[in-house]
Amino acid sequence: MDLRQYRYFCAVFEEQSVTRAAERLRMAQPALTQQIRRMEEELGVRLVERAGRGIRITPSGSRLYERAVSLLQFEQETRMEVSDIEAGRTGILRIGVNTLSASRLVEWIELMKRRHPGIILQVHQGESSALIERLKERSLDAAFVRLPIDAQGISIEWMEEEPFHQVWHPDHPTADIIIPSQEGLGVFQTLSQRLGVVSQETCSDVLTLIGLVRSGQAVTVLPESTLRELDMTGLHQTYLSGASSTTAFVWLTETGPTTLTKQFIEIMQETAE
């Protein structure tokens, strides 16, 4: 049986008449009668019995009606949910964020939630290389990563370049260099080389890294946007001429951007300076 047949039977049950049900469905009465008989044959039970000039719904028919109403309601709700997801009114947007990227992310999330209150937005933090892997595994819809990356199979929509600063405690300017990551796919290794050192020490947590600098255990390099979000009291910083990094918003080329991803991109473009 299919949903169409369930609709036919619901009309017969509600009208308590094959004739009136046929009129309501705008179909010939013999055709409707034939559909009801097919349902009875498939189920192996009587659904409708003649009662004088009218009909009587059997107990099996009454039970089928209850189930049919639930099925038809479920079908309608499913259609609406799928339509809402396709239109971007509901659904889940899974965004990956590199520890040191997307300084305006909070602003964009606020705008996205305000414009599309029915969506669920999940933000996952990680290293650029790990985020790329999650894109390929399809556990993320899009991600903010630091370039350079292995761009095979990856599409890039938005990019923002920003300078880097060296950060140190004034009492310990020659402390060991500790870089934020070895997994940034080239960014911090390049910066270490510019400083004339090859750092073997890393710290992926920015707050811990700043704590190490503040205690005199480290000198580090950080992007300008990250420094704006941190308490730099008592620390010195200097602009590294010619040292910059590019943040990119990326997704898997094979799947393309989801509807919600496209809407997020629109917000980013609208707020571009």
Largest CA distance in the chain: 104
Please write the tens of the pLDDT for every residue from 184-211: 445 566 666 666 655 557 777 788 888 8
User: Going by C-beta distance under 8 Å and a sequence separation of 6 or more, which residues neighbour residue 242?
Assistant: 194
Contact 175, 203 (CB under 8 A): no
Q: How confident is the model at residue 53, as a pLDDT?
A: 79
**Model confidence at 129, in pLDDT bands (50, 70, 90)?**
confident
Higher pLDDT among residues 194 and 106, named by residue: 106
Q: How confident is the model at residue 93, as a pLDDT?
A: 92
* CA pair distance 214, 221, nearest whole angstrom: 13
pTM of the model: 0.62
Q: Is the pLDDT of residue 89 over 80?
A: no
104's tokens: 């305006």
* CA pair distance 146, 3, nearest whole angstrom: 51
Beta strand residue intervals within the chain, DSSP E: 48-51, 54-57, 91-98, 119-126, 142-146, 154-168, 220-223, 236-252
Amino acid identity of residue 168, one-letter, is W
Mean pLDDT estimate for the chain: 85
Higher pLDDT among residues 66 and 227, named by residue: 66
Closest to 219 measured CA to CA, from 185, 188, 183, 186: 188
Q: Is the pLDDT of residue 86 over 90?
A: no
Contact 177, 166 (CB under 8 A): no
- Average pLDDT (88-108) is 80
- How many Cβ atoms from other residues are within 10 Å of residue 195's Cβ? 15
The residue written with tokens 């059997």 in the block is 58
Q: How confident is the model at residue 261, as a pLDDT?
A: 93
**Model confidence at 163, in pLDDT bands (50, 70, 90)?**
confident
- The domains located in the chain, with CATH, are 3-85 (1.10.10.10), 91-160+248-270 (3.40.190.10), 161-244 (3.40.190.10)
Higher pLDDT among residues 72 and 246, named by residue: 72
* CA pair distance 154, 188, nearest whole angstrom: 22
